[in-house]
Amino acid sequence: MSKKGCCNSVGECFFDYYTSKILVIRSRKVGTLNRFTQALVIAYVVGYVCVLKKGYQDTDTVLSSVTTKVKGIALTNTTELGERIWDVADYIIPPQVVRRFDEEEVQARRFKCPLTSLVPPPSWVMKMIWLHLHAHTLYCVNSLLFTQGLSVQTGRCVNYNDTVKTCEVLSWCPLEKIVEPPNPPLLADAENFTVLIKNNIRYPKFNFNKRNILPNINSSYLTQCVFSRKTDPDCPIFRLKDIVEEAEEDFQTMAVHGGVMGVQIRWDCDLDMPQSWCVPRYTFRRLDNKDPENNVAPGYNFRFAKYYKDSDGTETRTLIKGYGIRFDVLVFGQAGKFNIIPTLLNIGAGLALLGLVNVICDWIVLTIMTRKHHYKEQKYTYVDDFGLVSI
C-alpha cells in the first residue's frame, strides 16, 4: 500500500471525488432502447406529474361560510284557508323553504279525545304500531304506543262513533288528520322564488379569501340577473325551478312530498395563476332518495306549531305540517400553490425510476443479446476471498 493509495488521514480522503467506472457499449440496439425508456420516464414525470397533475403544488381544502336570502311571494286559495298570502316570514323556517302546508284547525292541549281514525297514518313508525293496535283494540296496550310518537293512551275505550269503539288518548285535540299531501302542491308558485347565495371562502394555508360575488360584478347587474349556466354563470341568484331542473327532477312532482336539493359550489383554484381565474362552479343534485323502495319518510317534511292563548287562558296551537324542499349548500374544493417539497418529492421519485431503466437495460444486455458473454467480461470483475478470479 503506498501512502497515496489509501487515506493516511481523513482530511486527505475527504476531498477525493468518487465516481463509478463506466462501460460504454457501442450498440444501437441497447442504446436506442435505453434512451427510449428514459424518454418515457421523463415524459411521465414532466408531462403527467408536473404539468397535468400539478405535482409541484402543495394543496389545501376550502373553509367556507354561507348566507342565503330567499325572495318570493305566493297566493293560495284553498277551501280551508281561503285566499291567503305567503311571504318570506311565513314560509321560511331556516334552513329550508317550506313549500306547502296542511294547516290543522287550532288544537287545545290537555283535552281527552277519541282516536279519530283507524286507518294507518302515513308516518314510518306508526305503520307497525297500528296493525298491532288492531289486534289489541280492547286492551289498548299502553307501553307500546307510548314510545311511538302517536299519542298517550289513557287505557280506556270510548265511542269513536255509534259503531266503532276506539282507545281514548291524551293528546292535542283534535288529532292530526291523516291526509296525503294534496297534489298540486299549495305553493306551486314557489318554483319562481329566487334565492341569493352569498359564499365566502378561505384557504387558511395560503391565507387566501374570496367571495362568490366576483369583483367584476356590479350591483345593477346583481339586481336583475338570475343564474343560467349559459348566459349568467357567475350570477349568485338562483331560481328554485332551475336548480331542480338541473338535477333532472320535476319541480311540481318533487314539491308534493318535498325533498332535499344539494347546491354544490366547487372552488378549484390554482393560486399560481391570477386570482381572477379562481371562480366558483355551481352544480345541483338531489340528496334524498326519491325511489320509495328502500326509503322511509320519503321526501322532506316536518311539523311545527304556532301557539296562542285564548281569552280564557287556554293554550291552543296551530299545528302545521310542512312539506318542504330543503336546499343544502355544499361548498368544497382544493387550492394548489407551488411548494418545493412536493416538487422535489416527485423529481426524486422520477430520478429513482430513471435508475430502474438502467437495471432493465443491463438485464437485457447481459441475458438476451447474442454477444452477452462478450459484454459480461468487460462489465464484471470477479473476486473472492482468495484473490482475483481468472476469467
| CA distances to 37, 159, 165 from 153, in Å | 82, 14, 14
Q: Which of residues 80, 180, 248, 385 is near its own copies by CB under 8 A? A: 385
The answer to whether 194 is annotated as binding is: yes
The answer to whether 71 is annotated as binding is: yes
The answer to whether 205 is annotated as binding is: no
The answer to whether 230 is annotated as binding is: no
The answer to whether 321 is annotated as binding is: yes
Q: At residue 319, what are phi and psi to the nearest 5 degrees?
A: -85, 130
Cross-strand pairs, 339: none
Q: Which is nearer to its own copies, 63 or 179 (CB)?
A: 63
Q: Please identify, among the stretches 11-19, 159-167, 180-188, 249-257, the one whose residues bind its own copies according to the rule CB under 8 A.
A: 11-19
Cα separation, 118 vs 160, in Å, equals 10
Which residue type, as a one-letter code, is found at position 239?
R
Q: Is the dihedral of CA 182, 187, 193, 196 positive or negative?
A: negative
The answer to whether 146 is annotated as binding is: no
Cα separation, 45 vs 66, in Å, equals 39
- For the segment 28-87, give every residue that binds its own copies (CB under 8 A): 28, 30-32, 34-35, 44, 48-49, 53, 55, 61, 63, 65, 67, 69, 71-75, 82-85, 87
Q: Is residue 97 a contact point for its own copies (CB under 8 A)?
A: no
The answer to whether 54 is annotated as binding is: no
Q: Which three cell numbers stand for residue 56?
A: 409541484
Cβ atoms 62, 269 nearer than 8 A: no
Q: Which of residues 218, 230, 231, 274 is near its own copies by CB under 8 A? A: 218
Cα separation, 159 vs 136, in Å, equals 16
Smallest gap from residue 273 Cβ to its own copies (A): 20
Smallest gap from residue 162 Cβ to its own copies (A): 28
Which residue type, as a one-letter code, is found at position 205?
K
Smallest gap from residue 209 Cβ to its own copies (A): 8
Per-residue x/- track, 268-287, its own copies (CB under 8 A) = -----------------x-x
Helix (H, G, I), strand (E, B) or coil at 171: strand
Q: Is residue 319 a contact point for its own copies (CB under 8 A)?
A: yes
Look at phi and psi of residue 149 and say left if phi exceeds 0, alpha if psi is from -120 to 50, else beta. left
Please confirm whether the linkage preceding 94 is cis (ω < 30° from 0).
no
Q: Which is nearer to its own copies, 96 or 166 (CB)?
A: 96
- For the segment 333-362, give every residue that binds its own copies (CB under 8 A): 340-341, 344-353, 355-356, 358, 361-362
The answer to whether 303 is annotated as binding is: yes
Q: Is residue 290 a contact point for its own copies (CB under 8 A)?
A: no
Q: Is residue 302 a contact point for its own copies (CB under 8 A)?
A: yes
Using the structure block, give the residue that is written with the C-alpha cell 283507524: 118
Smallest gap from residue 154 Cβ to its own copies (A): 10
Q: Which three cell numbers stand for residue 321?
A: 305540517
Cα separation, 94 vs 304, in Å, equals 12
- For the segment 140-199, give every residue that binds its own copies (CB under 8 A): 146-152, 170-172, 189, 192-194, 196, 198
Burial per residue of 153-170, b for 16 or more beta-carbon CB atoms within 10 angstroms, e otherwise: beeebeebeeeeebbbbe
Q: Is residue 105 a contact point for its own copies (CB under 8 A)?
A: no
Q: Is residue 326 a contact point for its own copies (CB under 8 A)?
A: yes
Q: At residue 266, what are phi and psi to the nearest 5 degrees?
A: -105, 125
Smallest gap from residue 199 Cβ to its own copies (A): 10
Cross-strand pairs, 302: 322
Q: Which is nearer to its own copies, 229 or 376 (CB)?
A: 376
Q: At residue 54, what are phi and psi to the nearest 5 degrees?
A: 50, 50
Q: Please identify, among the stretches 14-22, 133-141, 248-256, 272-280, the one whose residues bind its own copies according to the rule CB under 8 A.
A: 14-22
Residues 6+ apart with CB under 8 A from 111: 171, 172, 173
- DSSP code for 364: H
Total binding residues toward its own copies, as defined by CB under 8 A: 156
Cα separation, 122 vs 128, in Å, equals 11
Q: Please identify, among the stretches 155-163, 243-251, 270-278, 365-373, the one whose residues bind its own copies according to the rule CB under 8 A.
A: 365-373
Smallest gap from residue 139 Cβ to its own copies (A): 18
- For the segment 107-146, give every residue that binds its own copies (CB under 8 A): 109-110, 123-125, 127-128, 146
List binding-site positions. Answer: 69-71, 194, 301-303, 321
